[in-house]
Every structure is written in structure tokens, then in C-alpha cells.
Amino acid sequence: MSGLLSGSRPIGEKIARDIESRLSLPHGWLDQDHSGGGNAMPSPSFSSIPVVGTTQLGDDGYWAELEYPAGHGDGYIDWPTRDANAYALRCRGDSMKPRIKSGEFVIIEPNRTPISGDEVLIKATDGRVMVKELLYQRDGATHLLSVNESHGKLVLRMDEISLMHYVAGIAKHALWHTSEKQQPKTGLDAMTEEQAQKILKDPRVKKLLDEA
């Protein structure tokens, strides 16, 4: 227990989830910042998401993707996400208005599975890159709705899609910055010593840690 409080022993994903379960806490509660005190639930922590490329919004509603080489991105976007592989793309052009304006960024969470009604980033095998609304998938085909209503619906066979990633949101240019910010502390590291001790000394948690 002293190791957990001092930081010399990491709490670990499994133990964190078990503690939340035994204390009837929401999933991921220990990953949040509780340093403000009290019992209020904190806001999601912001991460610095790399901008990995620029997309030119074409007149036909498709994007010509201009990617940066690995390790040579174009700054960062502050965005609340738990996806360690989240990335952003800068948008140029006006064909996706009013949903996406030139100079804004689309935030992509590749590890989140999209469902019907979600916006998705689609990269087709012929090189087209586009943001669409996922309608449904059936009989080996993906049915999509254009963000810009003037471009209508689109149906692609599964073998015509090289990737389909969940779009978490659209970020304004004000959230962009040039250097990665230090990530805020979370979980036990972000709590006051009194808060951490209260959790770790709970009989249910003590029993769990003894068994770990």
C-alpha cells in the first residue's frame, strides 16, 4: 500500500478496474483527475493529439490527403480523449461546409468502433479520403451519407475501403499549438494524499490489494 501511495508501485489497469467495481465507482473513475477535492466528478482530461496531415477538401466532396512523414507532424490539438492513438487532420477548402470549415481539424479515434449514425473518416483503396456519416453495413457493402447534403449517399464495397475510423469531433484552430504539452496527472497520482489514503484504506480495497 505504501508503494502505491509513493508511486513506486503502479496500480495497474486490472486493479484499478477492480477497485472501481468494489466501490461502485464508474468505469474509468480512477483515471480521472480528482485533485480538486470533494466528490464531484471531474471533466475529462485533455490530451495533446498530433496533427498528422492536411486534407484538401475537393469540389467533388472528396479529400486529397497530404500526409506528413512519420515523426514530422504539424503541431497538436488539445482534445479530451482516452484513445492513445488519436490523431487530427487539418482541413482546407469549403466543400464540407457548414459541418467542417477551412482551417478546422477533424479529431480521429481509430480504436473506437463506429456505429450507425456516427461520422467516420473513410479512406478508399483508390486514394479518396472523406468524412461521411455511417448509415449501415449490409451484404458486404458500407452505406454512407455525405456531410455536405449536396453530395448525397455513397455505397462502397468492403474491399473498396482501406480504413474507416471514428470521428470524435471537429476542433477549432484555437485548440492548435506547436509543442506537445505535459499530460496532467490522473488516478492516484492526481489525488491529494488524503483522498488516495481514503480509497486505499477502504477494507474492500485492502483485501483486493492483498490478493493481488
Q: Where are the domains of the chain?
A: 2-42+186-211, 46-177
pLDDT tens figures, 60-72: 656 666 565 544 5
- Determine the pLDDT at residue 5: 44
Residue 71: CB atoms within 10 Å: 6
171 membership: H or E segment, kind and range = strand 161-171
Residue 170: CB atoms within 10 Å: 16
Residue 2 has pLDDT above 80, yes or no: no
Residue 30 three-state SS? helix
User: Partners of 51 in the beta sheet?
Assistant: 88
**% of the chain residues with pLDDT over 70:** 54
Can you tell me which residue has the cell 482516452?
Answer: 82
pTM for the predicted model, two decimal places: 0.61
The rounded mean pLDDT for the chain is: 74
- Determine the pLDDT at residue 40: 46
**Separation between Cα atoms, residue 101 and residue 64, nearest integer Å:** 16
2-11, 31-40, 88-97, 169-178, range with greatest mean pLDDT: 169-178
200 within 8 A of 206, measured Cβ to Cβ = yes
Classified by CATH at the fold level, domain 46-177 comes out as Umud Fragment, subunit A (2.10.109)
**Separation between Cα atoms, residue 77 and residue 51, nearest integer Å:** 7
pLDDT tens figures, 79-133: 888 888 899 988 887 667 777 888 899 999 999 999 999 999 888 898 788 888 8
**Separation between Cα atoms, residue 58 and residue 55, nearest integer Å:** 9
122 within 8 A of 132, measured Cβ to Cβ = yes
Cα angle, residue 39 at apex, residues 38 and 45 outer, rounded to 5°: 90
**Separation between Cα atoms, residue 130 and residue 137, nearest integer Å:** 17
Residue 139 class from Cβ within 10 Å (0-12 exposed, 13-18 middle, 19+ buried)?
exposed
